[in-house]
Amino acid sequence: MLKPKFYLTTPIYYPSDNLHIGHTYTTVAADSIKRFKKLQGFDVFFTTGSDEHGQKIETKAKEMNQTPKEYVDGIVANIKKLWKMLEIDYDAFIRSTDEHHEKAVQDIFVKLYEKGEIYKDVYKGYYCTPCESFWTESQLKEDHACPDCGRETHIAEEEAYFFKLSKYRDKLLKLYEENPGFIQPESRKNEMINNFLKDGLEDLSVSRSTFDWGVKVPFDNKHVVYVWIDALSCYLTALGYGSENEEKFKEFWPADVHLVGKEIVRFHTIIWPALLMALDIPLPKKVFGHGWILFEDDKMSKSKGNVIYPEPIIELYGIDAFKYFLLREFTFGADGSFSREKFLQRLNSDLANDLGNLLSRTVSMVEKYNEGIIPSPNAEEEFDKNLREMAVATASKVEDHMEKLSFSTALEEIWKLVRRSNKYVDETLPWVLAKEGNKERLDSVLFNLSESLRIISILIKPFMENTSSEILRQLGITHESLWEDSKKWNEAQVSIVGNKVNKGDVIFPRLDIAKELIRLNEANQKLIDERAGAQKKEEKEEEPKKEDPKEEIEDLEELPEISIDDFAKVELKVAEIIGCENHPKADKLLVLTLKLGEKTRQVVSGIKKWYSPEDLIGKKVVVVTNLKPVKLRGVESRGMVLAAQDSSGNLSLLTPLGHVAGGASIS
């Protein structure tokens, strides 16, 4: 009998730097889906990869004195090393620099051109280099900031080829209406309609002529194909689309789900389906735009110094602890805030206290009270029935949540069974039964605990494969388990009666959180320093040496100096704080209302550690007033209050010595 097919993808990651924990989140989720569907009996194909073309990569490579390919080769090697470390079970790692992919992209471009879906024109508009996107005036944020990344855009004009995206607006709206599950979660669909489709679509620039690092347009060599046609096509070419053998493509397309971060939902739910419609290729069934993993409520960024890398966590605590935390702690469609302390607390409570304790005490009691042999159950009592009914019902609940990609809720259902099994020990008191010589009842209790663990081992397998295998090993189970086996209780084909248990080490030792925080911080910082050191070493090796050391010292001394004209660009004013409250979504931020003469403005500041709102009302502070507005965790900030901080971490806001009116200029 042929197995049903299932195709899923992660984003095709942009390798401008090493991946952090946020990138890992998507791939761990995809890996769990694959393992779950395989356990259900599906034939699964899982694609991940790297999107390696574009101006940003070309610029970065020049800074590193490398060719673009040399630069991305190094990053891709680290990505593959990380996926191997995490035991990610992908079937294809597609690189946009792969020869067969580049040829297929050229064929796609030609096909669209010949069908009249692409035409040549001149583009003039606001361009965001990091996103490699043109924007209209109406799409930009305040001060012409990019609507996707918030960075500064600039006016650019160049000859380009355009895809007739505008003609697909109504077809896309119809797609969303007839397929309500196409974009998940629901909030993402509303964003696409209200922010992009509501007022119509502009035709899309699909080539660039101002840089060379990309797939050449075959009939016009001065142009390279726009990155989003190039990258999105990876989902097709990973299956062999456009090659001599398209068997995999015919088997697995359309994709059952594209997993993407929320910042690229637009490309996957507007540009991608429109391109597929133009090519007469069936559309994917679902695009799921998950949230970001923040670090203490702030987006992770190398420039902010708050990047958390997965490697130190895995090395210290194992793959399964890391995967469990990512999928259990955060709701997949929403943003979540990572902290090392939360990770360690979750490891202690769920993995050490709950699951690890259940396995350890069960196997120990089977060894102590029945010579290590799992006994046969006898008459059922009320506690037994309650445990059995919960155990066999859990798999169906997990299935429902996994279909919605609700990993956290699926794991919570499993942990209800783990906790119920631990409670069962306290209800039945097997050590008392042993002391009383009630062997018949004791055998039933030991069997029920072992059988519950057998079921738990299957349920956790998509998320924690190594832990699942260790539980099975300790229970003496050697046969391959299927998902359906988790819905059976004491049936012949899954019987564990007579198995000899094999007690092993504690699977999740309890941790001293204070000590582990220090270890984890040091390990993460060590990796950051190593990577920074390696980069500096590469840069240093390429620098031409100066012959006169005095000249070098003089150059260094000159670097910090600025002219009075440079200083004059910064607008400093005295402001009175007339309102202050806690930021609704961030523990370290305060939202200040400042009065500058007759005007007021709002500023968000990370000073909550040193000041409470009531301390600040009526105080006068110094504020930079001509900074570009930014949003910090969803609240707009129009300026920056100035503060001084010493080497001990003490911080004080700058304030005038004497009386001066709010709004007074500082020079």
Output the CA–CA distances (angstroms, integers) from residue 254 to 187, 248, 276, 468, in the order listed: 24, 11, 11, 32
Report if residue 221 sits inside a domain.
no
Amino acid at 458: I
Structural contact between residues 47 and 101, judged by C-beta atoms closer than 8 angstroms: no
Of 16-25, 462-471, 601-610, 648-657, the range with the highest mean pLDDT is 462-471
Instruction: Note whether 483 and 575 are same-domain residues.
Output: no
323 part of a folded domain:
no
Query: Is the peptide bond between 185 and the residue preceding it cis, with omega within 30 degrees of 0?
Result: yes
- At 96-130, the pLDDT tens digits run 999 999 999 999 999 999 999 999 999 788 888 77
Span 583-591, average pLDDT: 83
591/464 same-domain check: no
Does 350 reside within a domain?
yes
Nearest CA among 365, 377, 522 for reference residue 443: 377
Contact 305, 296 (CB under 8 A): no
Q: Which residues pair with 653 in a beta bridge?
A: 643
Residue at 13 is within a domain: no
Q: What is the CA radius of gyration of the chain?
A: 30
Alpha-carbon gap, residue 348 to 344, rounded angstroms: 6
Most confident of 46-55, 207-216, 269-278: 269-278
Residue 608 falls within a domain, yes or no?
yes
Q: Is the dihedral of CA 144, 146, 149, 152 positive or negative?
A: negative
pLDDT band at 232 (very low <50, low <70, confident <90, very high): very high
- Looking at the fold, whether 383 and 470 belong to one and the same domain comes out as yes
Any domain includes 179? no
User: Containing domain of residue 630, as a range?
Assistant: 564-666
* Residue at token pair 């094999």: 502
Q: Are both 398 and 479 inside the same structural domain?
A: yes
Confidence of residue 296 (pLDDT cuts 50, 70, 90): low
**Residue 142 CA, distance from chain mean position:** 28
Alpha carbon distance 128, 145 (integer Å)? 8
φ and ψ of 121, to 5 deg: -160, -175
CATH number at residue 390: 1.10.730.10
Q: What is the pLDDT of residues 453-481, one digit of tens each?
A: 999 999 999 999 999 999 999 999 998 99
Asked if 348 and 485 sit in the same domain, the reply is yes
**Domain total of the chain:** 2
Respond yes or no on whether the N-terminal peptide bond of residue 584 is cis (omega within 30° of 0): no
Q: Look at residues 494, 524, 544 and tell me which one is the last residue of a structural domain.
A: 494
Specify the pLDDT at position 188: 93
User: Which residues, listed in sequence order, are joined to residue 135 by a DSSP beta bridge?
Assistant: 126
Closest to 205 (Cα-Cα) out of 183, 188, 229, 182: 229
Average pLDDT on 233-262 reads: 96
CATH number, position 625: 2.40.50.140
Confidence of residue 544 (pLDDT cuts 50, 70, 90): very low
H or E, element range at 325: helix 319-329
Which of 18-22, 118-122, 318-322, 444-448 is predicted least confidently?
18-22
Domain end (from 494, 523, 549)? 494
pLDDT over 50 at 547, yes or no:
no
The pTM (predicted TM-score) of the whole model is 0.77
C-alpha distances (whole Å) from 147 to each of 153, 260, 278, 383, 623 are 10, 18, 26, 57, 27
**One domain for residues 445 and 345:** yes
* The last residue of a domain, from among 459, 494, 529: 494
The per-residue pLDDT for range 126-154, each reduced to its tens digit, is: 888 777 777 878 788 888 898 878 888 98
pLDDT at 197 over 70: yes
Residues 387 and 475 in one domain: yes
pLDDT at 553 over 50: no
pLDDT at 551 over 50: no
Look at residue 358 and tell me if it is in a domain: yes
Across the chain, what does the average pLDDT equal? 89
448 shares its domain with 594 = no
Asked if 482 and 360 sit in the same domain, the reply is yes
Examine residue 199 and state whether it is found in any structural domain, yes or no: no
pLDDT of 413: 98
Nearest CA among 6, 2, 9, 91 for reference residue 44: 6
Residue 599: the pLDDT is 83
Q: Which amino acid is at 314?
A: I
**pLDDT by residue (tens digit) across 152-184?**
898 888 899 999 999 999 999 999 999 999 999
Task: Check residue 107 and give its pLDDT.
Answer: 97
pLDDT (tens digit per residue) in 624-662: 998 888 878 778 888 999 998 876 678 889 888 877 788
Whole-number percent of the chain with pLDDT over 90: 61
- Segment (H or E) for 653: strand 651-653
Non-local CB neighbours of 640 within 8 Å, separated by 6+ positions: 603, 605, 623, 624, 627
